[in-house]
Amino acid sequence: MPSIRRSKRLLLLLIPIVLFLIFLTLGHYEKLPPQISPEWSFLSLGNKFNYSYLGSNNTNSVFPVMSTYEELGFQLVPEDVKFQYINKMGKKGSPKDILKINMDKYKSLMDQEIHEPKDFDMETIRPPQDPKSYDHASATIVSLVRGAEAAALGKSIVQFEKKFNSKFLYPYTFINDVPFTDSFKERMRKYSLAPMNFVTIPAELWDKPESIDEAKERKAMDILASKDVSYAKKASYHNMCRFYSGNFYQLEEMKKYKYYWRIEPGVKFYSDINYDIFKYLEGTQKIYGFTINLYDIDESVETLWPETLKYLNSEDNYKYVNVNGAFQWILENQQLPKKNRVTGGYSTCHFWSNFEIGDMDFFRGEAYTNWFKFLDSTGKFYYERWGDAPVHSLGLALFADKKDIHWFRDIGYWHDPYANCPNSKGTLDCEKGLFSRWDNLNDQNCMATWVDDAIENPEKIY
C-alpha cells in the first residue's frame, strides 16, 4: 500500500511537468514559419530548440526555447526580426567610465607579447624559395587609386613589398574610373616584380544610377555638409563608397580571384609578415581580416540600420541572418550612446576598410548580394553618405559567423590618425599599443567591444 501511495504522489507531480512541456512545445510550434513541418525534436525535452530551419548559414545552431531576444539579444521571426544590446559583460557607469573600462582592456591586450596565429600550421605557408614558381592562392592586391596619388601609393607599396609581397609576389590590380596613363603604369612597375593589372571601371559599376533624384541629392548633401560630414558634397566619394560596397568584386578582372587585400596611398606597414596571409585565410576558412576597428560618423549612416531591419523583416530575408553573428558589437550603446540614438540602434562600429583582406565569395553570395541590392534601391549611398566600411561591417556582422572574422593583431599598420601596433619582435617604428596619435580620439576605439562579442579567448589565437 505505501508503494501505491508513493506512485500516486509521483504521478501527481509528473502531470504538471508534462503539461508544462507540452505547453512550451505547442507555443514554439505555433511560431514556426508555415513552411516548417510540425515535428518537435527531442531537443525540446532538454528545453532546447533547433534553429536550423533559418537557412544554410544557421545549420546545427541550437538555442534555448525561451525567447532569444531576452537572453541573447535577437529574434529571428518572419516579419518580426529584432535585435537589442544586452550588455552581456555587465559594464556599468557613464560613457566616460565605459571608455576607461574598454581602453584598459584594449591596453591590456596590446601589452601582451604576441606572435603569429596559433590556429594553423604556419610552417606550411612560409615564403617559398622561388616566389615566381610558387603555387599562389587565388588572390590579388587591389587598390582603387587616382593617377595623382601615384607617389603616395608608391610609398605604401614599397613598405608592403618589404614586409610581405616581395616574398610571395601576389599580383596587383589597380582600378580607376578613368584609364591609367602609361607613366602611372611604368611608375608602379618599378615598385614590384609582381604581375600588375590596370583596370578601368565600367560606367555601369561606377556612375550614379539614373534613378537618383539630383535635386533631392543636392539638398541631402547640403544637410550633411552643414553637419561637417566629410566628403558630403564630393560626388566621386559617394560613387566610391557604393562601388566598394557592392560592385568591386563584380569587375571581370576580379572575378578570377577569390581573395583580395586592399591597400591605399599613404599607409604604413610596421610588421614583418613571414607567412602567406591568403593561405592562412584559406586554411582556416576565415572570410575577412582587419586591423583597426572604430566608430563611424553617425550622421553619415543615419538610416542604414533601420533600412536593414526593413529588409530583414520583408519576405523571408530573415533566413540569411547567421545566428552566430556579431550582433552585440553592432548594437553597443554605452561608450558613445549618441551614435546609437542617431542611427536607430547601430553602434556605428566598423572595420576600417582601408585595410581589409577578404573572401569575395562571401560578398558574391546570395545573402550579401540581395541585401546590397536592397540598400542600393533606397538611393541612400547618395541621399546619405553610406560608406563601404559600415556596409561591409554590417553585412559581415549579420550574415557571417563571427569566428570567421579575424583580427590581424600581429600586423602593425597605420592610416592617419589610427594604428594597430602589436607588441611583437617583428614590429618596428610604432608605439606599442597606440590606437591614435591624438588621445582625444581614443573614444573612437571599438576593439574592446569586438573582443567582448567575438573572441572568447584571444590567447588561443596568438
Q: Give the residue numbers annotated as catalytic, written as ranges.
A: 356
The three-class DSSP label of residue 55 is coil
**Full DSSP string of 64-76:** ESS-HHHHHSEE-
Q: What angle do CA 45, 47, 51 make, to 5 degrees?
A: 100
Q: What angle do CA 305, 307, 309 make, to 5 degrees?
A: 70
Beta pairing class for 259-262 and 139-144: parallel
Q: What angle do CA 136, 56, 393 make, to 5 degrees?
A: 65
> Are the CB atoms for 447 and 461 separated by under 8 Å?
no
Query: Cell match 538610416: residue?
Result: 303
Distance CA 318, CA 334 (A): 27
Give the helix ranges, DSSP H, for 32-92. Answer: 68-72
- For residue 417, whether the previous peptide bond is cis, meaning omega lies within 30 degrees of 0, is yes
The three-class DSSP label of residue 124 is helix
> Are the CB atoms for 422 and 409 separated by under 8 Å?
yes
